[in-house]
Structure 1
Amino acid sequence: MTKFIFVTGGVVSSIGKGIVAASLGRLLKSRDYSVSILKLDPYINVDPGTMSPFQHGEVFVTEDGAETDLDLGHYERFTDTSMSRLNSVTTGSIYQAVINKERRGDYDGGTVQVIPHITNEIKERVQRVAQNTNPDVVITEIGGTVGDIESLPFIEAIRQFRKDVGRQDVLYMHVTLLPWIASAGEMKTKPTQHSVKELRSIGIQPDILVCRCDRPVPASIKEKISNFCDVPASCVVECQDASSIYEVPTILESEGLAHQVLQILGMDLRSPNLHQWEELVTRIHQPGTPVEIAIVGKYVQLGDAYLSVVESLNHAAFSEGGDLKIRWINSEELEPLTVEHHLHGVQGVIVPGGFGPRGIDGKIAAVNYAREHNIPFLGLCLGMQCSVIEWSRHVAGLQDGNSSEFDKETPNPVINLLPEQQDVVDLGGTMRLGLYPCRITPGSLADRLYGEEVVYERHRHRYEFNNAYRNLFLESGYSISGTSPDARLVEIIELPDHPFFIASQFHPEFQSRPNKPHPLFRGLMQAALTLVEKQQSPEMTPASTPLPERSLEHSGA
């Protein structure tokens, strides 16, 4: 029978519930328990697909095409388990489902209320994950902070859940803050006490407290929290700030979190196998070769807008021995006259995804600079489209080449709307979303990186390479190294005469893992490190020569 763990948070938002939930998932998987992690988000949007990255961060896309909260990316990266649309639930989707049922007459004319109809729908979504994937454990993170008005239906639902499935199968974990007050020279427990009091007033007594802190927690403090919050001292788990999120599983393991969870839920106390994860943490702390990669985007003021891109770069750096530094470049500040100032000295350039015309000229300028200066380049989704526009204007002779997304009247729409998108009106959930196959051209850079004939990657876009211009691009030296199996859609482009220049219509960042860096990011990191070597050794071969034959196989799972 599936066991259920509910993770709530108190005191402040952004306290790290998602990382704690993902880390616990990793610890349980290391004991050969199967895990699925669910996010209950209290906002009324149906999903984050139409939300501004400045407010919400990136939109993470699952294999089945759900646009979800970025925490699902953490879940996948930590547990190496693919999530689905079942793993992301919002207030908007709950109310939409309940209203649809009411309109169909499913409630037999009854008055529809928060309790029981909304709470029943929430509980059904949690059960649906257990029924469809049959994991040993379902971990459910409740977004927001205990006490928020919008979170109350979710808290009430999980309170009822223990009664519905049995006390022995449900565990409540509360993540809270232990601040250090410098002027007093003390660690204060009152925020934790008040947060637990708020949770208990709603009817939930936490079984385990995970206390965020910036220094070790004395045993006396744990005893104090235990007495005031009615939690055994052994279940007061400290979680110190770490230099890398990938240290958190080992920190929580040393605190005995998984042992306490298994004991409370009556599960076998299996020994963990964290050997590979511990090796990863060791690699993270080993000195590496400094390498600087520029991310040229329009949402750089909020790093979470490109979270999966950053983590994919980190994975590649861990694997290849790079000491990664990211240079954030606002594409709105870039133009041909300033691009040298902004990009000089970097060993790699990434132009990530996005929507709309703002900052596009800066992205195109960055592509042009990377191409002409032989700087390793990786384009992602919109980044590929910008590379197509850049080539059309500067090489293929189409000075007015553009995307119809940015200029509906452009005479040369080298990027155009997908045919199936022509009549779409609603924005949310209507793009080309989810996992699609891509056939790789033999002998290409993409072939060297992937080592497979067909790969499967996740998409999130409405526009594509316009096939009316395919021959022109091929004749001018462009290389199309990945297409849909029917060769209709262009998925990957590259420049054979460049040290490393490749761009994809899909989002490879969604499939990178800490111990299995994505091939495109790993290839970029290898090329960037090769450039570092060249810059440090002037007698080496020119940057335009092919990459050295580094191993391109994935590292262990």
Structure 2
Amino acid sequence: MAKHIFVTGGVVSSLGKGITAASLGQLLKARGYHVTMQKMDPYLNVDPGTMSPFQHGEVFVTEDGHEGDLDLGHYERFIDENLSRESNFTQGSIYQTLIARERRGDFLGGTVQVIPHVTEAIKERIRRAAEQSGADIVISEIGGTVGDIEGLPFIEAARQFKKEMGPGNVLFVHVTLVPYIAAAHEVKTKPTQHSVKELRSLGVQPDFIVCRSDHAIEDGVREKIALFCDVDADDVLACPDAPSIYEVPLSLYEQGFDISALAKMGLAPRKIKLAPWRAFLKAKDACAGELDIAVVGKYVSLPDAYLSVHEALEHAGIACGRKVNVHLVDGEELTDANAEGVLGAMDGILVPGGFGQRAFEGKIAAARYARERGVPFLGICLGLQAAVCEFARNVCGLTGATSAEFADSAPEGTPFVVDLMPEQEDVEDKGGTMRLGAYPCKVVSGTRAEAAYGEPIIYERHRHRYEVNNAYRDRLTEAGLVVSGLSPDDRLVEMVEAPDHPFYVASQAHPEFKSRPGKPHPLFKAFVEAANTHKEN
């Protein structure tokens, strides 16, 4: 029977519940336990797939095609496990399922209520995550903060779950803020006390309290929190701001977090294997020199919109012994005229995914600058489509070539070198209907892609509706565009490259989702290596 750990948060959001949960997961896996993780989001959207990145950050896609919370990316990167659609669910998805059942008559005329029906549905999803993964330990993060109205069913479901599972099978970790008040020259525990009081009023007593702060948490502060919150002082953990999120597991390890959690669950403290994690951090600290990479996008005011891209660049940079400085460039402001001034000092240019026409012309300008000036370029999803449109316009002579996604604003006769996938033509619902999840790709021999991957067949995760229009494929390739990746049936263009270029590769997939600390994604590693060569030359 799996053991369960619930992670809650208090006082304010964005405290780092996801990093805390992922760090504990990393430590428990390092001790030889099979760990899986889950995020429960209280909002009423069925999933974040239709939400703006300005609202929610990036949408993380799992191997089986679930559009999930960005914390799933942290989970995968820390515990080095592929998660699934069972690893993330929202209150909206719970209500959607219950209402569909009610309309079907499943409840035999009974009244459908938050308790027991919503809470039972939540508990069923928790059980399912354990059963389908076969994990020894399931770590479930409850989104939001304690006291939020929308989060109450999740707290209640977790409370019931602990009672049903019995002693020693369920733990609660509460992450809370211990702010530093400059005028008083001290950290204050009262917000934490009130947060725990609110949690206890809902019937949940935390087993551990993780104190987030930008200042050191002294023993006296921990003892005070322990006294007023009814936990042992050793179970009050300090988690001050760290230079890197990847240092958090070691900080918690040094305080015995994993050992104490295992003891409370009645599990043996197996020998821990932290050598790979320490080696990654050592390599990070040993980086000599820096690289400047421009990420030309649409959502640049919120870095979390490209979170996995940032992490994948960092992983690749560390593997190459270089610190990567990411420069977010607003595609709306970039043009052919100012590209030299904006991008001239960059060692590499990356155009990430996105939707909509806004900033698309700037992405095309970035692709053109990189292609014509010999600057290493990596295009992802919409970045591939921008690269194809740029090549069609400026090499093939297809004036105004663009994507059919923007057909409403395009003049009559516009060449749509990127078009809607045939299977998407009759799709009306926006949520969960794109080409999602891992798909195979044949890598063409003798290409940059083959040099990067070193394998003839690869699997990458997708999230898109539009593809390169096959009606223009021959014209593009005759003009020199290299198709370096194809679907197994040769129907879909998955990767392209520019000829006679140090590194100009674009993928219709999202390789950033599969990069891990110490295991950089091969395409990102090849891109960063090319950027480093460009800088040296």
Bin of the TM-score, shorter chain as denominator length: over 0.9
Q: C-alpha deviations, 1:106-139, integer Å up to 9, x for none?
A: 1121100000000000000000011111100000
Answer yes or no: is the 8 Å Cα contact 1:404–1:410 preserved in 2.
Answer: no
1:445 maps onto 2:448 in alignment: yes
Aligned pair 1:127/2:132, yes or no? Answer: no
Question: C-alpha displacement at 1:74, in angstroms?
Answer: 0.4
**Secondary structure of residue in 2 paired with 1:37:** strand
- CA distance in structure 1 between the partners assigned to 2:187 and 2:530 by the alignment: 47
**Once the 2 structures are TM-superposed, how far is the Cα of residue 418 of structure 1 from its aligned partner?**
0.1
Q: What does residue 552 of structure 1 align with?
A: none
Q: Does residue 81 of the first structure (1) align with residue 81 of the second (2)?
A: yes
One-letter identity of the residue aligned with 1:488: R
SS of the residue corresponding to residue 406 of structure 2 reads: coil
The CA deviation at 1:407 is 2.1
| Contact 1:289 1:529 survives alignment (8 Å) | no
Partner of 2:5: 5
State the 1:284 CA deviation: 1.6
Q: Give runs of aligned pairs for residues 469-508 of structure 1, distance below 5 A.
A: 469-508=472-511
Query: Residue 194 of structure 1 corresponds to which residue in structure 2?
Result: 194
Q: 1:261: which partner in 2? A: 261
Counterpart of 1:501, as a letter, is Y
Residue 397 (structure 1) aligns with: 397
- SS state at 2:325 partner: strand
CA distance in structure 2 between the partners assigned to 1:125 and 1:71 by the alignment: 18
Mapped to 2, the partners of 1:336 and 1:287 lie a distance apart of: 34
In structure 1, the partner of 2:298 is 298
Within 5 Å, give how 1:215-234 maps onto structure 2. Answer: 215-234=215-234
Secondary structure of residue in 2 paired with 1:333: coil
Q: 1:221 offset after TM fit, Å?
A: 1.1
Partner Cα distance (1:257, 1:343) in 2: 45
Query: Deviation per CA, 1:506-528, whole angstroms, max 9, x where unpaired?
Result: 00001011111011110111011
Shift of 1:287: 3.8
Q: Distance in 2 between matches of 1:340 and 1:532?
A: 16
1:425 pairs with 2:428: yes
1:146 aligns with 2:146: yes
SS for the counterpart of 1:493 is strand
CA distance in 2, matches of 1:241, 1:149: 29
**Residues 400, 410 of structure 1: 8 Å contact kept:** no
Report the counterpart of residue 522 of structure 2 in structure 1.
Answer: 519
| Contact residue 287 and residue 318 of structure 2 kept, 8 A | no
Q: For residue 462 of structure 2, what is the aligned residue in structure 1? A: 459
- What is residue 351 of structure 1 aligned with on the other side? 351
Q: Is the 8 A contact 2:187 2:215 kept in 1?
A: no
Superposed, 1:368-387 pairs within 5 Å as: 368-387=368-387
> Structure 2: how far apart are the matches of 1:424 and 1:264?
50
Deviation at 1:472, TM superposition (A): 0.8
Partners of 1:269 and 1:296 in 2: how far apart? 47
Find the aligned partners of 1:204 and 1:415 in 2 and give their Cα distance.
Answer: 53
Distance 1:216 1:410 in 2: 64
Matched position secondary structure for 2:168: helix
Distance 2:77 2:346 in 1: 27
Equivalent position amino acid for 2:373 in 1: H
Counterpart of 1:199, as a letter, is: L
Counterpart of 1:161 in structure 2 is 161
Letter of the structure 2 residue corresponding to residue 367 of structure 1 = A
By how many angstroms is 1:495 displaced? 1.6
**Which residue pairs with 1:543 in the alignment?**
none
TM-superposed deviation, 1:410: 4.7
Code of the residue aligned with 1:80 in structure 2: it is: D
The residue aligned with 1:540 is none
Q: Which amino acid letter does the alignment assign opposite residue 31 of structure 2?
A: R
Deviations 1:361-413 (A, max 9, x none): 11100100011110000000000000000000000111121111012555311
The residue type equivalent to 1:315 in the other structure is: H
**Counterpart secondary structure, 1:332:** coil
In 1, Cα distance between equivalents of 2:149 and 2:424: 38
Query: Are the equivalent residues in 2 in contact too, given 1:441–1:453 (CA < 8 A)?
Result: yes
Per mean C-alpha deviation after superposition, the further-off stretch among 451-460 and 165-174 is: 165-174
Q: 2:535 aligns with which of 522, 532, 535?
A: 532
Structure 2 gap ranges (5+)? none
Name which of structure 1's ranges 265-274 and 140-149 shifts more when overlaid on structure 2: 265-274
Q: How does 1:21-40 map to 2 (within 5 A)?
A: 21-40=21-40
Q: CA deviation at 1:214?
A: 2.1
Amino acid at match of 1:277: W
| SS of corresponding position for 2:306 | helix
**CA RMSD of superposed structures (Å):** 0.9
Tell me how far 1:216 sits from its aligned partner.
2.5
Q: Deviations over 1:448-502 (max 9, x none)?
A: 1000010000000000001111111111111001000111100000123000000
Task: Within 5 Å, give how 1:200-215 maps onto structure 2.
Answer: 200-215=200-215
The residue aligned with 1:278 is 278
Within 1, Cα distance between the matches of 2:99 and 2:128? 19
Query: Alpha-carbon deviations, 1:152-201, whole Å to 9, x = none?
Result: 01011001001111122000110011111111111111111110000000
Single out whichever of 87-96 and 162-171 deviates more from structure 2. Answer: 162-171
CA distance in 2, matches of 1:194, 1:163: 24
CA contact 1:484–1:490 (8 Å) conserved in 2: yes
User: Identity of aligned pairs, percent?
Assistant: 58
Q: Please state whether the residue corresponding to 1:423 is helix, strand or coil.
A: coil
Give the distance between the partners of 1:358 and 1:225, measured in 2 at CA.
49
Letter in 2 for 1:224: K
Residue of structure 2 equivalent to 1:362: 362
Amino acid of the structure 2 residue aligned with 1:312: A
Runs in 1 of length 4+ with deviation above 4 angstroms? none
Q: CA deviation at 1:104?
A: 1.4
User: Shift of the alpha carbon at 1:215?
Assistant: 2.8
The residue type paired with residue 189 of structure 2 is: T
Q: Does 1:47 align with 2:80?
A: no
The 8 Å contact of residues 298 and 358 in structure 1, kept in 2 or not, is answered as: yes
- 2:10 touches 2:192 (CA, 8 Å); kept in 1? yes
Which residue matches 1:314? 314
Residue aligning to 2:20: 20
With 403-412 and 445-454 compared, the bigger mean Cα shift is at: 403-412
Indicate the residue corresponding to 2:136 in structure 1: 136
One-letter amino acid matched to 1:185: H
In the alignment, structure 1 residue 415 sits paired with structure 2 residue 411: no
Distance 2:322 2:490 in 1: 36
Opposite residue 39 of structure 1, the aligned amino acid is K
Match for 1:221: what amino acid? V
Q: Which residue of 2 aligns with 1:63?
A: 63
TM-score normalised to the size of structure 2?
Answer: 0.98
Whether the 8 Å contact between 1:403 and 1:410 is mirrored in structure 2 is no
3-state DSSP of counterpart to 2:32: coil
Q: Is the Cα contact below 8 Å between 2:178 and 2:192 reproduced in 1? A: yes
> Could you say if the C-alpha distance between residues 104 and 289 of structure 1 is closer, same or farther in structure 2, counting changes exceeding 3 Å?
same
Structure 1 unmatched ranges of 5 or more: 535-557
Cα pair 1:63 1:84 within 8 Å, conserved:
yes
- Secondary structure of 1:407's counterpart equals helix
Q: Deviations over 1:219-266 (max 9, x none)?
A: 111111111000001111111111111111111101111011001000
Kept in 1: contact 2:497–2:505 (CA 8 A):
yes
